[in-house]
Structure 1
């Protein structure tokens, strides 16, 4: 899946990948996709949980070209918009 923004979080440990996601999710328009590339195993749980808590859509995961996990998040519109 193509992403509008890809965050390279390799080498970052929990909770840094989710912090980076929170900092940059609004860099894409509603409906846009942010990819978080992270080699920390906790990201597989943290990214979907963050999406549930913040109301964004967790699209799923795939892999970057080097085989590192890539977590895909679709930004939702703020409530009422």
Structure 2
């Protein structure tokens, strides 16, 4: 289950540290259509601020939500253009 979100694609970057979660998220969103939702699953605690910062400074993406549980961080990013 994807926490009640209609996820288009899931990106698993567990075990990868900065900057790879952001780099891989950018690559994944580049391949999505407008309105699609990317779920990013990471184990790097720094991914919370890194992905938020990337989404807030990048046109065409919107950070919808971030969740933490059992040493796993889930980020939901929507492509907006």
- 1:35-74 deviations in Å (ceiling 9; x for gaps): 110010110001111011112110012358x762110000
- Tell me the secondary structure at the aligned position of residue 72 of structure 1: strand
Does residue 60 in structure 1 map to residue 62 in structure 2? no
Return the TM-score normalized by structure 2: 0.84
Unpaired runs of at least 5, structure 2: none
The runs of 4+ residues in structure 1 deviating greater than 2 Å are none
Report how many aligned residue pairs link the two structures: 76
Between Structure 1 and Structure 2, the one with more strand by share is: 2
Unpaired runs of at least 5, structure 1: none
* CA-atom RMSD in angstroms: 1.7
In the other structure, the counterpart of 1:45 is 49
